[in-house]
């Protein structure tokens, strides 16, 4: 037990020193330092391999779009015509004629543009998917960062509580020496102190674990030190649900992706319908005669898509493209319903956290502090039991912890709101100002 107490005391000393260094290094107000560190982590998360993969998909689709606008490669041929059987296998022996030709397939005007238009919409869809991936990673970073914020507040509160419990130990020892207390009170206070020291060790381990998860999202070594997360006071803004839903329908990247997906399916339908138009084939040939004069020929051909044995393939493709449009439209409607639920849920969490934070700050914590002060005065005069004093001290710790939990929940709720709407709170405010 003694070794664990010394270890815990060392860790607390080390962490407190680190906190002091971080505060001295930033020299920024609480909220500014808090968001500055968060923005640094969000910028680092742009190196996440998932974003690199999403970006590669966009570039691959852009390259495919350019390829769709290009003609197929021409076919060049040389034919050994009317070769005597006796000359086999030498095609140049006693040859009667050499034919040189070049042949090119040319789609009906507009076909290549229609196919490229479909691929362009796919590129736009993948770009929106990349934005979705970026927002999801940012949301994950914020969620872990807010959890880290709470752990640091718990660690600070743990240190403050240890200081308070040490004072209780001194008071209990003084009361015992004066004959007004019990030795069991001293032992109980020392046991309480040991519990908090042990909790500080666990909190320190949890902080390092969370830092490792954040570093993994940022694609850097998991042991990279993130440093102290300062205390802050979150904004207490209120929003109208209908206004947020209107913004979300315009800004949510998943919906942008689905809109581009519908446009892609529509472009594919147009491209499929153009398959009813013929493609052309042009071939030029030069004939080199061993006997007689040379000559040339030109051949122009066309496909017949409306032939009974080929028309079914095109009509089936058109029906498939039409059904794909209906699928994409239905999925978009379903996504709008899901987003509406997410926005509503996030807004409810924000409002609930605001009320909880306000109650803790303005009522619960002041009352708990006054109760503890009164109980301490009563204990010094022998009018209060020590166990009651310990319980009141625990009540104050829980009240402060509930306040910091409310701050974390409000931050997390605001982050959920940003993710569900598809833009940051600052951008939401600008959209609302434009709307007014």
Domain boundaries, the chain: 2-71+107-435
Residue 230 DSSP code: -
No. of helices (H) and no. of strands (E), the chain: 11, 4
The C-alpha atoms of residue 37 and residue 343 are separated, in whole angstroms, by 27
In this prediction, residue 15 carries a pLDDT of: 44
The C-alpha atoms of residue 346 and residue 416 are separated, in whole angstroms, by 6
Q: Are 230 and 30 in contact (CB under 8 A)?
A: yes
Q: Strand, helix or coil at 30?
A: helix
Compute CA 9 distance to the chain's CA centroid, rounded to the nearest angstrom.
39
Is the sign of the CA dihedral 315, 319, 322, 328 positive or negative? negative
Give the closest residue to 150 by CA, choosing from 75, 37, 242, 230: 230
The C-alpha atoms of residue 132 and residue 55 are separated, in whole angstroms, by 12
3-state helix, strand, coil in the chain (%, to 5): 75, 10, 20
Give the closest residue to 129 by CA, choosing from 32, 214, 202, 57: 57
* Cβ within 8 Å of residue 42, ≥6 positions away: 138, 141, 142
In this prediction, residue 8 carries a pLDDT of: 43
The C-alpha atoms of residue 73 and residue 86 are separated, in whole angstroms, by 36
Compute CA 299 distance to the chain's CA centroid, rounded to the nearest angstrom.
58
Could you please state the CATH topology (level 3) that the domain comprising 2-71+107-435 is classified under: Outer membrane efflux proteins (OEP) (1.20.1600)
Residue 218 DSSP code: T
The C-alpha atoms of residue 147 and residue 239 are separated, in whole angstroms, by 24
In this prediction, residue 255 carries a pLDDT of: 94
The CA-CA-CA angle for residues 6, 228, 360, to 5°, reads 90
In this prediction, residue 291 carries a pLDDT of: 79
Give the closest residue to 127 by CA, choosing from 250, 257, 247: 257
In this prediction, residue 180 carries a pLDDT of: 61
Provide the whole-model pTM: 0.80
Enclosing H/E stretch for 283: strand 280-289
The C-alpha atoms of residue 397 and residue 372 are separated, in whole angstroms, by 11
Burial grade of 66 (CB within 10 A; 0-12, 13-18, 19 or more): exposed
* Cβ within 8 Å of residue 96, ≥6 positions away: 81, 82, 83, 84, 289, 290, 291
pLDDT tens, N- to C-terminus, the chain (436 residues)? 433 443 344 344 444 444 444 444 343 456 888 999 999 999 999 999 999 999 999 999 988 888 888 888 899 998 888 777 777 777 777 778 888 999 999 998 888 888 888 889 999 999 999 999 999 999 999 999 999 999 999 888 888 877 777 777 777 777 666 766 667 767 777 777 788 788 888 888 999 999 999 999 999 999 999 989 998 888 888 899 999 999 999 999 999 999 999 999 999 888 888 888 888 999 999 988 877 788 888 999 998 888 887 778 888 888 988 999 999 999 999 999 999 999 999 999 999 999 999 998 888 888 888 887 887 777 677 666 667 777 777 788 888 889 999 999 999 999 999 999 999 999 999 988 887 5
In this prediction, residue 51 carries a pLDDT of: 94
Q: Determine the length of the chain.
A: 436
């Amino acid at each position: 037990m003694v070794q664990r107490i010394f270890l815990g005391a060392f860790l607390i000393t080390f962490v407190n020193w680190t906190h002091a260094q971080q505060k001295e290094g930033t020299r920024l107000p609480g909220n500014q330092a808090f968001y500055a560190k968060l923005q640094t982590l969000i910028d680092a998360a742009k190196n996440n391999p998932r974003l690199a993969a999403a970006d590669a998909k966009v570039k691959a689709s852009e390259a495919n779009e350019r390829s769709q606008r290009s003609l197929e490669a021409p076919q060049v041929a040389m034919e050994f015509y009317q070769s005597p059987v006796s000359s086999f296998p030498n095609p140049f022996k006693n040859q009667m004629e050499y034919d040189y030709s070049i042949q090119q397939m040319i789609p009906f005007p507009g076909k290549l543009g229609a196919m490229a238009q479909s691929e362009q919409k796919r590129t736009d869809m993948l770009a929106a998917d990349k934005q979705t991936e970026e927002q999801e990673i940012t949301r994950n970073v914020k969620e872990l960062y807010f959890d880290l914020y709470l752990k640091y507040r718990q660690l600070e509160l743990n240190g403050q509580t240890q200081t308070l419990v040490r004072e209780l130990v001194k008071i209990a020892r003084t009361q015992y020496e004066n004959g007004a207390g019990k030795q069991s009170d001293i032992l109980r206070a020392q046991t309480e102190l040991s519990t908090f020291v042990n909790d500080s060790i666990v909190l320190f381990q949890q902080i390092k674990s969370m830092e490792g998860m954040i570093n993994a999202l940022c694609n850097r070594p998991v042991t990279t030190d993130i440093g102290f997360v300062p205390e802050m006071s979150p904004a207490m803004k209120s929003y109208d649900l209908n206004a947020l839903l209107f913004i979300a329908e315009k800004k949510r990247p998943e919906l942008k992706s689905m809109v581009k997906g519908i446009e892609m399916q529509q472009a594919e339908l147009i491209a499929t319908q153009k398959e009813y138009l013929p493609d052309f084939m042009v071939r030029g040939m030069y004939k080199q005669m061993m006997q007689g004069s040379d000559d040339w020929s030109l051949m122009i051909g066309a496909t017949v898509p409306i032939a009974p044995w080929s028309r079914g393939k095109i009509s089936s493709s058109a029906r498939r493209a039409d059904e794909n449009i209906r699928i994409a439209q239905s999925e978009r409607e379903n996504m709008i319903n899901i987003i509406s639920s997410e926005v509503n849920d996030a807004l409810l969490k924000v409002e609930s956290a605001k009320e909880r934070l306000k109650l803790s700050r303005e009522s619960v914590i002041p009352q708990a502090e006054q109760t503890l002060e009164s109980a301490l005065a009563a204990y010094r005069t022998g009018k209060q039991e020590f166990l009651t004093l310990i319980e009141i001290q625990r009540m104050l710790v829980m009240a402060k912890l509930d306040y910091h939990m409310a701050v974390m929940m409000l931050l997390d709720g605001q982050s959920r709101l940003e993710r569900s709407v598809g833009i940051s709170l600052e951008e939401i405010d600008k959209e609302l100002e434009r709307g007014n």
